[in-house]
Structure 1
Amino acid sequence: MAEIAYKTGLIGTKYSKPGINQYLISRRRLHQRLDNSLICKLTLVTAPAGYGKTTAVLDWLEKCGLSAAWVSVDSYDNNPVVFWRYVCTALDGISDGLSKDTEYVFSSLELLKANIHINILIDRLSGVQSDFLLVLDDLHLITDSSILQGLSYLIDYLPAKMHLIFISRMGPELELARHRIKWQAQGLEEKDLRFGKEEIFLFYQARGYTLENDDVKKVETYTEGWAAALVAVAMSMEDAGGGNDVIASLTRSSRDIEQYLLDEVISTWPPEKRAFAMKTCILDMLSEALCNAVTEEDNGRRMLNEINEGSGFLITLDEQNREYKYHPLFKSLLYRLLSETVPEEIADLHIKAARWFREHGFMPDAIEHLLRGGSYREALEMIEHRIDHLINRNDFGMLLSWIERLPVEFKDNSFKIAVIYALYYAETGRYDLSRQWIKRMKTLKDDNQYASSPGWNSYSRTVCTLVEVNLLIREGNVEYLPHREYIQQAGSKKPRPMCEAGP
């Protein structure tokens, strides 16, 4: 028999249940889900880093009162001997002497491959009369195929009173389909672990802070129920000696959260995955085709699947899992890294996104990315093409949100933008400002590059007249209106939409 070298010493804290935070709050809705662990072979608790997976299970174990063996997995456990020795030692608390009975198996490769240690484990634990659990925490760190196959074997022949809980950042590669069909496996995911409003209130109350409803809503919006973010906000509140100022700004918390994400998530990713995330963080919506257009790679679907299944803080936007967005805090960190490492690429990424949106008919999104990318002339042209449509909808808000971001030399030298301001200020009752912009319109009409064109002159005069008439009517200055026949004549010309104006 081939001999296997293995460590003789085990770290006690790895097969002991971790302690519980003094500020722990019980989450009854999670307890109800975890109670189902006792009618299942396996419960999978999967979510990205910092979602309170371990804490939720520990809290439930305290409340349910059942015996439980616990193994905190790390990357050094990707060795069947090491891994199963920890499992068997942890289960000594359920069946005394189990680790001693299996020890001889770990000196033989043949016995190990034949799952003799698992057979012994199953045989010994089948005699236990009361329900008990084995919890494997951070199981995503196990990649060794033989260990995963051994776990699948254990699930198949699990003793009647034994129940498994696997805590992981992603679903382990186990053969679980048949168990789910038989209702022998259940899952808790990111959406289940997010803190709701009531839980957020209790979370801070346990720390001595009583939040008003508006503050609870702000924290929920900022953190999206992510436990690690809630803790970071609480730490900032403690540092500041109170809660109101911190919740109003939430800036210090952001730094704490970003450092956590950098250490626990991004630093563990391979270069391809990091590069993809950083390039696509400029997007508010993520899809395979859009990501491929921005990165100029063909890995969009694979990368989105990997990030979604792992620790990437993707939020699904549709039931088909084809569109996503990054968690706002994660997106903020990615953008900071992008700005610090390759700031010269940001404008080009936005231009690529704008091009894709324009080709697919999403004009507002295209304009947004042109503005973010500093392509102001092209953005202005697209804004001018949207003017008539948005005016007809009385949607000045969107127009002005774009216009205000244009540099002065673009914004103040566009006849069509002057029209927008004149109409907007008349609409909102600020007649003095409307008149100032009408004056600006008339100046720009004569200074326009098309001023020598008969078509432009006719069009611009008509627009100026109609905008001024609109203001006079709103002011109630009917006696100052131009002659009715002139107005009718101007109106009957039905000037082309402003987006078509020109020679």
Structure 2
Amino acid sequence: MSEETSAFLSDKFMPARLPEVCAPRKALLARVGDAAQDGFVFVSAQGGSGKTVTTLLWLRESGRTPIWIGLDSYDNSLAVFYKQLATGFYSLQPDNENMRGVLTDPAFSATPVEHMVRLLSEMRPPEGLYAVVLDDFHMITSGEILKSLPLVLRRVPRSFTVFLLSRGDIPEELAPLVKNEEKDIIRRERLRFSEAEIRQYFNSLGLFLTPDETRFAYMATDGWAIGVNAVAMSGPVTQGGGHDFAHYFEAQGWNTWDSELQDFCMRTSVADEFDTELAAALSGRPDAPKIMDELSKSNSFLSRLHTDTYRYHHLFQEFLQGRLDQSGIDTNGLYKTVAGYYREHGDYSRALRYWLLSGD
């Protein structure tokens, strides 16, 4: 990608990186591939269920080139949403001057749907296969977006498959995009690990479970990906404890970590994402890059977004922030550190947000 093109792209276009060891879920990936044949896949499940990792694994296996857009509440407006989508498509053909002209047109914000349709019409016939992934689609509740999106997506070339990853059900406005509800909508039950898959995953890590241990791991995690990973990283499977992620992780994972690693994670959890510089400032650890690299490789709770920028899984971040509140650590001071970091780097909106969180 050229430097000129990358100037259009923010961190929102960078998917999380896969852990070095992933569960071998061939049946699930085959199910995703079957849905992808219809050109539209809606994945609906709660956080920690494995939506992102499953999609990334399928993309890797299929060899498709992805446009990945991580959505947030600021994208829930017509102009911002379609600007993001248009930017993603333009990134595939950065030398297409007609697409660039549409994207940079000052009138884009006034008529974003029309400009998005124009931009798609200016695409040269794509070579190869592609995917458009809109992650955290539950953040999009705008009626204008939901009503116009089927019209726009029908104009996407047939060489693309569209994935919408959401914690909610598919909005009724998107029903026209679904050709076969049973096939094209992958719900939470499909993402659950079976006992056989848990056993296979543990085997791939060199951890061999008895049938009783496998059954307990399934019962303790209810088959959800983040819970299965918590069990896997905690060492020997022991019975006892609760069935929710926070309770189980505290008993089986957190309590096995040394206090310095716990302190590092709690302090860095105040930031939604962080690079090695910010992590070092928050933790006071000059070896922050090494810690972050090792954590991201050993589990899925810390994901490397790109280069040296990382993000905790939201369930783990919530767990860490809860522990931080109980720790006696100066949380307001940590928020001020984040605010100062963003101010120094010219990101004044984020700086203001964290300064307000500091209560000052």
Q: TM-score range by the shorter chain?
A: 0.5 to 0.7
**Residue deviations 1:369-394, cap 9 Å, x none?**
xxxxxxxxxxxxxxxxxxxxxxxxxx
Distance in 1, matches of 2:77 and 2:36, equals 30
| SS at structure 1 position matched to 2:239 | helix
Residues 195 and 226 in structure 1, CA contact (< 8 A), matched pair in contact too: yes
Counterpart of 1:84 in structure 2 is: 82
Counterpart of 2:167 in structure 1 is: 169
Counterpart of 2:222 in structure 1 is: 224
User: Does residue 234 of the first structure (1) align with residue 232 of the second (2)?
Assistant: yes
Counterpart of 1:440 in structure 2 is: none
Distance in 2, matches of 1:198 and 1:184, equals 24
**Residue deviations 1:41-65, cap 9 Å, x none?**
3100111111000000001111111
Among 32, 48, 51, the alignment partner of 2:49 is: 51
Q: Compute the displacement of 1:109 (Å).
A: 4.7
Residues 24 and 200 in structure 2, CA contact (< 8 A), matched pair in contact too: no
Distance in 1, matches of 2:71 and 2:186, equals 19
**Residue deviations 1:182-203, cap 9 Å, x none?**
7897111111000011211122
| SS at structure 2 position matched to 1:175 | helix
Distance in 2, matches of 1:158 and 1:30, equals 26
Counterpart of 2:19 in structure 1 is: 21
Distance in 2, matches of 1:165 and 1:158, equals 13
Counterpart of 1:194 in structure 2 is: 192
Structure 2 vs 1, CA of residues 182 and 251 (structure 1 numbering), >3 Å: closer, same or farther?
closer
Counterpart of 1:160 in structure 2 is: 158
Distance in 2, matches of 1:254 and 1:110, equals 45
Q: Which has the higher helix share?
A: 1
Structure 2 vs 1, CA of residues 22 and 250 (structure 1 numbering), >3 Å: closer, same or farther?
farther
Q: Which has the higher contact order (CA 8 A, sep 6+)?
A: 2
Q: Compute the displacement of 1:169 (Å).
A: 0.5
The one-letter code sitting in structure 2 at the alignment partner of 1:14 is: K
Counterpart of 1:145 in structure 2 is: 143
Distance in 2, matches of 1:232 and 1:184, equals 31
- Give aligned-pair identity as a percent: 24
Q: Compute the displacement of 1:218 (Å).
A: 0.8
Q: Compute the displacement of 1:243 (Å).
A: 0.4
Structure 2 vs 1, CA of residues 182 and 169 (structure 1 numbering), >3 Å: closer, same or farther?
closer
Q: Compute the displacement of 1:144 (Å).
A: 1.9
Counterpart of 2:281 in structure 1 is: none
Counterpart of 1:34 in structure 2 is: 32
Counterpart of 2:239 in structure 1 is: 248
Paired residues for 1:416-431 under 5 Å: none
**Residue deviations 1:437-492, cap 9 Å, x none?**
xxxxxxxxxxxxxxxxxxxxxxxxxxxxxxxxxxxxxxxxxxxxxxxxxxxxxxxx
Residues 220 and 242 in structure 2, CA contact (< 8 A), matched pair in contact too: no
Residues 41 and 185 in structure 1, CA contact (< 8 A), matched pair in contact too: no
- 5+ residue gaps, structure 1, are 1-8, 260-332, 334-503
**Residue deviations 1:285-331, cap 9 Å, x none?**
xxxxxxxxxxxxxxxxxxxxxxxxxxxxxxxxxxxxxxxxxxxxxxx
Counterpart of 1:101 in structure 2 is: 101
* Residues paired across the two proteins, number: 244
Q: TM-score, normalised by structure 1?
A: 0.44
Residues 152 and 174 in structure 1, CA contact (< 8 A), matched pair in contact too: no
Residues 67 and 131 in structure 2, CA contact (< 8 A), matched pair in contact too: yes
Distance in 2, matches of 1:106 and 1:255, equals 51
Q: Compute the displacement of 1:87 (Å).
A: 1.8
Distance in 2, matches of 1:191 and 1:71, equals 25
Q: Compute the displacement of 1:181 (Å).
A: 4.7
Distance in 2, matches of 1:47 and 1:258, equals 24
Paired residues for 1:399-414 under 5 Å: none
Structure 2 vs 1, CA of residues 37 and 67 (structure 1 numbering), >3 Å: closer, same or farther?
farther
Q: TM-score, normalised by structure 2?
A: 0.60
Structure 2 vs 1, CA of residues 38 and 199 (structure 1 numbering), >3 Å: closer, same or farther?
same
| SS at structure 2 position matched to 1:32 | helix
Paired residues for 1:68-467 under 5 Å: 68-97=66-95, 100-105=100-105, 107-112=107-112, 115-125=113-123, 127-181=125-179, 186-235=184-233, 237=234, 242-244=235-237, 247-250=238-241, 254-255=246-247
Residues 41 and 184 in structure 1, CA contact (< 8 A), matched pair in contact too: no
Distance in 1, matches of 2:236 and 2:137, equals 36
Distance in 1, matches of 2:48 and 2:41, equals 19
The one-letter code sitting in structure 1 at the alignment partner of 2:101 is: D
Q: Compute the displacement of 1:19 (Å).
A: 0.5
- 5+ residue gaps, structure 2, are 1-6, 252-318, 320-360
Distance in 2, matches of 1:106 and 1:53, equals 36
Structure 2 vs 1, CA of residues 160 and 10 (structure 1 numbering), >3 Å: closer, same or farther?
closer
When the two chains are superposed, the root-mean-square deviation of aligned CA atoms in Å is 3.1
Structure 2 vs 1, CA of residues 258 and 126 (structure 1 numbering), >3 Å: closer, same or farther?
farther
Residues 133 and 163 in structure 1, CA contact (< 8 A), matched pair in contact too: yes
Distance in 2, matches of 1:17 and 1:181, equals 27
Q: Which runs of 4+ in 1 moved over 6 A?
A: 182-185
Distance in 2, matches of 1:79 and 1:133, equals 23
